[in-house]
Amino acid sequence: MNKEVNSLVELLTDVGNFRKVNEDYIDYYTDESKRIYVIADGMGGHNAGEIASKLAVENTISYINSLAVLDDLEDSIRGAVCDSNLKIYKLSKSRDELNGMGTTLTACLIKGSEMVIAHVGDSRCYIIKDKAISQVTKDHSLVQQLLDEGSITESEADNHPNRNIITRALGTYDTVEVDLIRMDIKGIEKVILCTDGLSNFVNEQELYDIVMKDDDCCAELIELSKSRGAKDNISVIVFEGEWRDDR
Report field, pTM of the whole predicted structure over 0.85? yes
Please give the Cα distance from 188 to 2 (Å, whole number): 27
pLDDT in tens, 170-194: 999 999 999 999 999 999 999 999 9
Domains and CATH numbers, the chain: 10-239 (3.60.40.10)
Backbone angles phi, psi at 162, to 5 degrees: -110, 30
pLDDT digits (tens, 9 = 90+) for 140-179: 988 888 887 888 887 787 778 777 789 999 999 999 999 9
- First-to-last C-alpha distance (Å) of the chain: 33
**Cβ neighbours of residue 66 closer than 8 Å, sequence gap 6 or more:** none
Q: Look at residue 247 in the predicted model and tell me its pLDDT.
A: 43
pLDDT tens digits along 70-112:
999 999 999 999 999 999 999 999 999 999 999 999 999 999 9
Contact by Cβ (8 Å): 170, 120:
yes
